[in-house]
Amino acid sequence: MSRALKTDAESATLGAMMLFWRDGYHALGTRALESETGLTRFTLQTKYGGKKALFLKTLDLYLDLFDAYMLPSLRSGGLEGIAAWIEQRPVPDSFREALRNGCLMVNSITEFPRDDSAVNARADRYYGLLRAALVEALETARAKGELSGQIIVADAAEVLLALVVALNLSFKSKAPNADAGRIARAGAAMVRGWSA
Amino acid sequence: MSRALKTDAESATLGAMMLFWRDGYHALGTRALESETGLTRFTLQTKYGGKKALFLKTLDLYLDLFDAYMLPSLRSGGLEGIAAWIEQRPVPDSFREALRNGCLMVNSITEFPRDDSAVNARADRYYGLLRAALVEALETARAKGELSGQIIVADAAEVLLALVVALNLSFKSKAPNADAGRIARAGAAMVRGWSA
DNA sequence: TGACATTCTATCCACTCGGATAGATAAAGC
DNA sequence: GCTTTATCTATCCGAGTGGATAGAATGTCA
């Protein structure tokens, strides 16, 4: 029974994610959401619970994809793997263009009030995932004997965490001084300098 | 001739800056701007040229203050000065609370489209100011003989630039994993590890 | 084929947005 | 004290917001 949806839930959420990523939450209207994803405003209310609820769903999807596609190659590559990951993040081709809009999570942290607990919960997951992956990557490098004894894994992971976040921000800007390549090259050089 | 303004231009711009800083551009309406700063919506149009123009003015003011109050102590402090600056940014008391909303420039980069040239011009200045101050600080440290010969100033400055940007982002979030202190301590430790 | 459940289409709603305008008001110069 | 000039107050505007709803359309199952 029941009439078919114009767009299945998966592709609607993915399309919405790309739009929120590009425009931000406030700047994207429900009518644009409707015309660009095939999602109906009626369905947005009855099935997704409104704009904000759908947005949080897209944030969750974003983090799922981040965890599934970006982090694995970081975790296992050793020291040179970390450096290479920073220089050229392993982004699926379909996301290459979207990444020019920075990181949906970073963008969302700045766009919502400091005490938005729903967004903070996602931010917590984001930082947690990234930090854990960096720690794992560094510990793998240490186990392989690649890492200088002077390097403290926990501290190095924090510095790399900051580096990744800053890269995500500089992607969003066209300002020449915000050139991401410049930051990435310096970061990769730093990592290579950590070798034993 | 002419009636007096309810609020002088300087305090109106400063007040508007704090509000944009706290709420973001889209989330702050002209009516809230009016009631919280004393600025009149009439004056906003006739003297400032509308909401966006005023916003850009507050961005310029923000960068002026950043240059005048935050960067000098960074430039001149030597290696330990850099580490201390990262751990405890020299923020005037009146801005302590506002800084919980992150950095107005960082927030603005994420909030506006990638090709907003007016915002990009300010972002370019921000990155330029910060990078130059970091380079100067590191070169001062080198001149004093404090800096290890293995450290390349240009690369180290990029890493510190990323660290500062990431700190500004983590201020904005209440997520436990985004704790700024954690990042700052690791960054300061890294800087101290650069000593000769 | 007809009953039923669900979505779609098309409005409608109350509200807010940034901006514009007209008449009242206040300060300075003559 | 009157004129002049700029700002204030109050209102209005058209457009857009997220959300709600009623009737038409569509798909499944008995």
∠ CA B111-B133-A88 to the nearest 5 degrees? Answer: 55
Number of domains within chain B: 2
Kindly list the residues from chain B whose CB atom is less than 8 angstroms away from the CB atom of residue A162: 162-163, 165-167, 183, 187
* Same-domain status, A95 and A159: yes
**Structure-derived torsion over alpha carbons of residues A132, A106, A22, A18, reported in degrees to the nearest 10:** 30
Q: How far is the CA of A43 from the C1' of C4 (A)?
A: 20
Helix axis angle for A153-171 and A78-87, nearest 10°, is: 20
Are residues B89 and B116 both part of a single domain? yes
B89/A194: higher pLDDT: A194
Q: How does pLDDT run across A100-144, given as a tens digit for each residue? A: 999 999 999 999 999 999 999 999 999 999 999 999 999 999 999
**Separation of alpha carbons B98 and A157, rounded Å:** 28
Nucleotides of C under 7 A from a protein CB: 3-11, 16-22, 25-29
Does A123 sit within 8 Å of B187, measured CB to CB? Answer: no
Domain extent for A124: 71-192
Q: Residues A11-26: pLDDT tens digits?
A: 899 999 999 999 999 9
- Give the predicted TM-score (pTM) of the model: 0.94
Query: Tens digit of pLDDT for each residue in B82-116?
Result: 999 999 886 667 788 899 999 999 999 999 999 99
A73 to chain B, minimum CA–CA distance in Å? 22
The pLDDT, as a whole number, for residue A1 is 62
Average pLDDT over every residue of A70-76: 93
Range 98-137 of B in CB contact (< 8 A) with A: 100-102, 106-107, 109-111, 113-115, 117, 120-121, 123-128, 131
| Strand C–CB B63 distance below 7 A | no
Asked whether residue B5's C-beta has any atom of DNA/RNA strand C within 7 A, the reply is: no
Number of other residues whose CB lies within 10 A of the CB of residue A72: 12
Res A5: pLDDT = 63
- Flag whether pLDDT at B16 surpasses 70: yes
What is the tens place of the pLDDT at every residue in B125-135?
Answer: 999 999 999 99
Q: What is the pLDDT of residues B26-42, one digit of tens each?
A: 999 999 999 999 999 99
- Give pLDDT, residue B95: 84
Whether residues A116 and A29 share a domain: the answer is: no
B contacts of A170 (beta carbons < 8 Å): 165
Residue A193, pLDDT > 90, answer yes
| C1' of nucleotide C6: residue with nearest CA | A2
Residues A114, B173: C-beta atoms closer than 8 Å = yes
In a domain, A65, yes or no: no
Is B150 in a helix, a strand, or coil?
coil
In a domain, A1, yes or no: yes
- Choose between B51 and B11: higher pLDDT: B51
Same domain, residue pair A105 and A180: yes
CATH number at residue A40: 1.10.10.60
pLDDT (tens digit per residue) in B144-168: 999 999 999 999 999 999 999 999 9
Structural domain contains residue B66: no
Q: Is the pLDDT of residue B23 over 90?
A: yes
The minimum CA-CA distance between B5 and chain A, rounded to whole Å, is: 32
Average pLDDT for chain B: 94
Cross-strand bridge partners of residue B147 = B195
